[in-house]
Amino acid sequence: MQPIYIADDSADQRYLFGYFLKRVNPEYPVVFFDRAQKLLDSLQSSIQTGGVLPMVVFLDLQMPEVNGFKALEIIMSLNERGGNWPEIPVVTYSGDSDPDMIRKCLDAGALAFLQKPVDLEKLKNLLLLVQP
């Protein structure tokens, strides 16, 4: 089973997101990243080596260094390049529900936007969309 990637600089938010995912399906392998750059490095490595890519990436928008929106743009550019890998779906999330930022994320290619705290039913529905 493909892993689910979660990138969030908050340890509490990573724990909570992982807890919700395990409630939806305890079999989901979950990989956590505390920085967007670590997530991007992992994706690049998997693409270059033919490794397993994630079923979906959940990406917090408010992170230091490389913020979530910049990481979204980079992931979408990987998707656009094509190659021998499937498109990587990205769901952005944030505690800020600014409609302009939500639209910007969706326009940039995000599958969806989730408001923190994450709603379990919305999470279930999103996972149904991306399951192989």
The pLDDT value recorded for residue 1 is 84
Rounded distance between C-alpha atoms, residue 51 and residue 129, angstroms? 22
> How many independent structural domains does the chain possess?
1
Range of 112's domain?
Answer: 4-130
Q: What per-residue confidence (pLDDT) applies to 132? A: 78
Residue 85's pLDDT is what? 64
Average confidence (pLDDT) per 10 residues, the chain, 132 residues: 94 93 91 96 90 94 93 88 76 92 95 91 91 82
Q: Is 20 left (phi over 0), alpha (psi -120 to 50) or beta?
A: alpha
**CATH number of domain containing 92:** 3.40.50.2300
C-alpha span between 72 and 62 (Å, rounded): 12
pTM for this model (two decimals):
0.92
